[in-house]
Chains A and B, each alone.
Chain A
Amino acid sequence: MSKTAIIIGGGVAGMETAGQLNRLGIEVVLIEKQASLGGHLKNWDRLFPDRRESQEVFDYLEKGMNDGISLYLNATISDIREAGGKFTVILEDGRELSSDALVLATGYDLFDARKKEEYGFGIYDNVITSAELEEFFRNNKQKNLFEGVQSKRVGIVHCVGSRDEKVGNLYCSKLCCVTGVKQAIEIRELMPDAEIFCFYMDLRMFDRHFEEMYYEAQEKWGIRFIRGRLSEAAENPDHTILVKVEDTLTGLPLKMKVDLLILLVGFVPSPETKRLAGMLGLKEGDDRFLCPSDEHLLPNSTDHPGVFLAGTLKGPASIAATIVDARAAALQVAEYLVNGER
């Protein structure tokens, strides 16, 4: 009799884990609360650092969704029960699904920029988030961001909702820095005469090709980087945005008028992850992301036998890293189902 695994969450991590497990001959059930698969990936336009179309990654993941995977879309979990090493997942519509292993791949949410009220998101017209800019890129290829605007000056604010005690998130979201650099270059491509400023605390260009991209942004594209955290933003009567920031390299306070302010919003744990973790008694870290049973050696296992973690519910990660993590999770699950080891 073949073994079954239920994967909760149909984003990058869930899709890749499902595809891999299925290829290993395990029966897979994939549960997704939304109407379609892909998660956040479907909202991005092009991916750093090589700026390939996100659609290409999605197409690859979708190929893995063959007949061996039972897909449940628009499905919300109301309860999870466990008896004799078997899990029963009960959906809100009453359907019951059972399996030998559970993989949580419920991902993250973007930080709600309204919580950083001093930047005026949701209050001023010309303050948008990095996610909204991606949406614009996706929907308006080749279209100017500022049709009809005279001076074109854009401010990009790093670390919105990350590394910020005041909003309760001390961790670094890792990927906003490179996203900011990517988006700055993309804006420049659309509007060669725009002035673009990135306001950063420090730039964490940790992965391969990132640092090069940062150099390119300065040398080739003339993006200007100002080290300093924005203290506040105010709206002028003409709906331009006045930003106040200290340039900490010169030690001088700075006021600047920009036409558009882009907030690079970070990762936060999703409420759905918290809810399911509560049902299964999983461990949460100080940063409220879930903890595997061993950060180094068992990064996909939990203290709960048969329950595994994949992807960004464990903290901020790039799409590339998420896919690697999902494959590791699939291997861990397969090992458990075959050998009974976690």
Chain B
Amino acid sequence: MTFNLFVLPFILGLIFLVVVLVKKNRQWIRLMSTDDRKKLKGWYRSPKILLALKEIFFESLLHRKMFRRNPLLGYMHMSFAFGWFLLILFGNMESRIYSGLWVNPPYYPIFLKFFIHDKHVLPFEIFTVPGFFRFSMDLLLMFVLSGLVLAIIKRSRSKWFGLTKTTQHHFTDKVAITCLWLIFPMRLLAECMTAGAYGYGGGFITQHVGNVLAFLWPLNDKSIAYGFWWFYSLSLGIFFVTLPYSRYMHIPTEVMLIIYRNFGIKAGKEQSPIHEIEIQSCPKCGVCIDICQMNTAAGINDIQAVYFLQSVRNQQVIDGLVNRCLVCGRCEEVCPVGIHTDNQRISQRNSFVQLQKQDYSYLNHEADPQKAELIYFAGCMSHLTPAIPRAMTKILDAAGVNYLFLDEDRSVCCGRPMMLAGKLKQAEELIERNKKSITGSGAKTLVTSCPICYRVFREEYGLDIRVLHHTQYLLELIKKGKLPLQTYFRKVAYHDPCDLGRGSGILNEPRELVRKIADPVAVRDEAKDAPCCGGSLGLLNADRHERDLITKEALANYLDKDAELLVTACPLCKKTFAKHSPLEVVDVAELVAAAIPKVEKETGELVN
């Protein structure tokens, strides 16, 4: 007999789940932009699918990134995901030995020990094919159960898992988690009792535990075991039905996310189905809570990506939650699922923007574009730190560069502050205006002092000229021998600005540049782990005390070293740090300018 009524909850739950998932996925693809849909064409023939499968194996099953963050948390997720996957895989292989068929009903391997009682295989018979599978299945069940034990510990001892605050659960989450936690203990009990009642057919654990149970509990007969098979099937079935409406939707969705990502579909600044897929993919591991400076410095622990994404999923987004974020990218950097948390914020902010009539008439007052080989664009922030553009003009003059200081007198904002506030349409207006004066100049290179401008120039302007941050350009000048350096500074600490380091991946050039003129000290969190200075334009509703706390915490990263100067590469970081720093704060361009000999204006000759 290969059917029993108790398999129905499992079968019905599975059918329900598959139908919901297929419908959801078709809906996502239908709502995608035509560009994104095109990327998926012929996906089964593309080598990208192999890359996606590899990534699914490493991230969805092994949880490699989570392992790196916290081994215990990684093991917990891995034992569930990879352990369960292997149970299904091995279970299927084992079931084929007994059915002799290539295709079995899906419930058959899941409940195999109910249907098959093979007295010819002994619990420790590892080197025969049926013995190997029986042994492995017990071992794998223990593997999954070890994860369950950790999950239970995590509820009360989240600190051991690197989390100071574990995430809150909703009702469906609670039903789903209860069922999920019941599935494997029920399976264990059902298999043990069945093996105990028959006296054979179990593995090295199930058989022996079953025998003990049968001895201790004389009432243990096949009908009680049968009851546990029902419980097992019911917990599976209910879990499958609640899954699409609970946090566990992240299991199937993450797989789809990885596939789409490998085909180049990414969450941008405007809403798209991939945003929903990312939101559904969040496993609520909570890694983003501990990395967030709003939490660690200012004690604000209800706005982090995990809560924000949850509010979007539950359609309970409030602007207070959306706007309370530095958009510094630190959580995006550590997210094991690779959710674009910054763009998620921006796209949600965009939906909060009230459509107002804006006056852009000032943008039309434009002079004829001036011509130059190279454009220097200081940026609004640099005009508030005049030592930076002054240093740059001194350097450019000294190197004999023919340049145009595009925003020396008047300028239009690069658009990124608008963008961070979700005002994408308004930003577009500014971008168009600036693009005209940049392309109109005929320049082949654009150099800016501001990482905020730099990022938006690269990401949104679509310029077909070289766009460089001044750290890159200055390094180039030095390497070409155009800047004779005279002075060498002693110990300095270098701070990576968010939009330059994490945001644009410019990590090496500033370091190499600093090393040419100074002796950088090692700091605790640097490069992509560097803290935000707290001045972020992305934080739309913090009071000054909260910002001050963030700045002071960030400063601590650089101060308890023997550094004599705090060096950064962003006018906003410089200004923000200067408010609280006991050390002098300078831009790396200022150091370079101070390191080169003075230029005699009339003759262009270098003098000491």
Which residues of A line the B interface, CB within 8 A? 115, 117-118, 120, 123-124, 165-168, 170, 232-235
Which residues of B line the A interface, CB within 8 A? 383-387, 390, 544, 548, 574-575, 578-580
Within the complex, the shortest CB–CB distance from B131 to chain A, in Å, comes to 73
| A165 to B, closest residue via Cβ | B544
7 A-B pairs with least C-beta separation: A118-B384, A117-B385, A165-B544, A168-B579, A120-B386, A232-B383, A123-B387
Q: How far is the CA of A9 from the CA of B408 in the complex (A)?
A: 47
Within the complex, the shortest CB–CB distance from A118 to chain B, in Å, comes to 4
In the complex, chain A residues whose CB is within 8 Å of the CB of B580 = 168
Query: Chain B interface secondary structure, helix, strand, loop or mixed?
Result: helix
| B381 to A, closest residue via Cβ | A118
Cβ B579 vs Cβ A118 within 8 A: no
Cβ A117 vs Cβ B578 within 8 A: yes
Return 18 A-B CB contacts under 8 Å, by A number: A115-B578, A117-B578, A118-B383, A118-B384, A118-B386, A123-B386, A123-B387, A123-B390, A165-B544, A166-B579, A168-B548, A168-B579, A170-B544, A232-B383, A232-B384, A233-B386, A234-B383, A235-B386
Q: How far is the CA of A165 from the CA of B383 in the complex (A)?
A: 19
Q: How far is the CA of A124 from the CA of B575 in the complex (A)?
A: 18
In the complex, chain B residues whose CB is within 8 Å of the CB of A123 = 386-387, 390
In the complex, chain B residues whose CB is within 8 Å of the CB of A165 = 544
Within the complex, the shortest CB–CB distance from B419 to chain A, in Å, comes to 22
Q: Which of A117, A166, A170 contacts B386 (CB 8 A)?
A: A117
Cβ B384 vs Cβ A117 within 8 A: yes
Q: Which of B387, B544, B548 contacts A117 (CB 8 A)?
A: B387
Q: How far is the CA of A234 from the CA of B410 in the complex (A)?
A: 11
Within the complex, the shortest CB–CB distance from A318 to chain B, in Å, comes to 27
Cβ A124 vs Cβ B548 within 8 A: no
Within the complex, the shortest CB–CB distance from A155 to chain B, in Å, comes to 16
In the complex, chain B residues whose CB is within 8 Å of the CB of A124 = 386
Q: Which of B386, B548, B574, B575 contacts A234 (CB 8 A)?
A: B386
Within the complex, the shortest CB–CB distance from B542 to chain A, in Å, comes to 12
| B535 to A, closest residue via Cβ | A166
In the complex, chain A residues whose CB is within 8 Å of the CB of B544 = 165, 168, 170
Within the complex, the shortest CB–CB distance from B600 to chain A, in Å, comes to 16
Q: How far is the CA of A235 from the CA of B386 in the complex (A)?
A: 9
In the complex, chain A residues whose CB is within 8 Å of the CB of B383 = 118, 232, 234
From B386, B574, B575, residue with most partner A Cβ within 10 Å: B386
Q: How far is the CA of A233 from the CA of B387 in the complex (A)?
A: 12
In the complex, chain A residues whose CB is within 8 Å of the CB of B387 = 117, 123
Within the complex, the shortest CB–CB distance from B396 to chain A, in Å, comes to 15
In the complex, chain A residues whose CB is within 8 Å of the CB of B575 = 117, 166
Within the complex, the shortest CB–CB distance from B228 to chain A, in Å, comes to 64
Q: How far is the CA of A165 from the CA of B551 in the complex (A)?
A: 14
Q: How far is the CA of A167 from the CA of B547 in the complex (A)?
A: 12
Q: How far is the CA of A305 from the CA of B425 in the complex (A)?
A: 63
Within the complex, the shortest CB–CB distance from B584 to chain A, in Å, comes to 9
| A166 to B, closest residue via Cβ | B579
From A117, A124, A165, A232, residue with most partner B Cβ within 10 Å: A117
| B408 to A, closest residue via Cβ | A234
Within the complex, the shortest CB–CB distance from B461 to chain A, in Å, comes to 25
Cβ A118 vs Cβ B385 within 8 A: yes
| B380 to A, closest residue via Cβ | A232
Q: How far is the CA of A118 from the CA of B383 in the complex (A)?
A: 7
Q: How far is the CA of A78 from the CA of B94 in the complex (A)?
A: 81
Within the complex, the shortest CB–CB distance from A206 to chain B, in Å, comes to 25
From A124, A165, A170, residue with most partner B Cβ within 10 Å: A165
| B576 to A, closest residue via Cβ | A166
In the complex, chain B residues whose CB is within 8 Å of the CB of A120 = 386
Q: How far is the CA of A120 from the CA of B579 in the complex (A)?
A: 16
Q: How far is the CA of A120 from the CA of B389 in the complex (A)?
A: 12
| A119 to B, closest residue via Cβ | B386
Within the complex, the shortest CB–CB distance from B276 to chain A, in Å, comes to 39
Q: How far is the CA of A162 from the CA of B169 in the complex (A)?
A: 47
In the complex, chain B residues whose CB is within 8 Å of the CB of A170 = 544
Q: How far is the CA of A166 from the CA of B544 in the complex (A)?
A: 9
In the complex, chain A residues whose CB is within 8 Å of the CB of B574 = 117
In the complex, chain B residues whose CB is within 8 Å of the CB of A234 = 383, 386
| A232 to B, closest residue via Cβ | B383
Known: A115-B579, A168-B580, A170-B544. 19 other contacts (CB 8 A): A115-B578, A117-B384, A117-B385, A117-B387, A117-B574, A118-B384, A118-B385, A118-B386, A120-B386, A123-B386, A123-B390, A165-B544, A166-B579, A167-B579, A168-B548, A232-B383, A232-B386, A235-B386, A235-B390
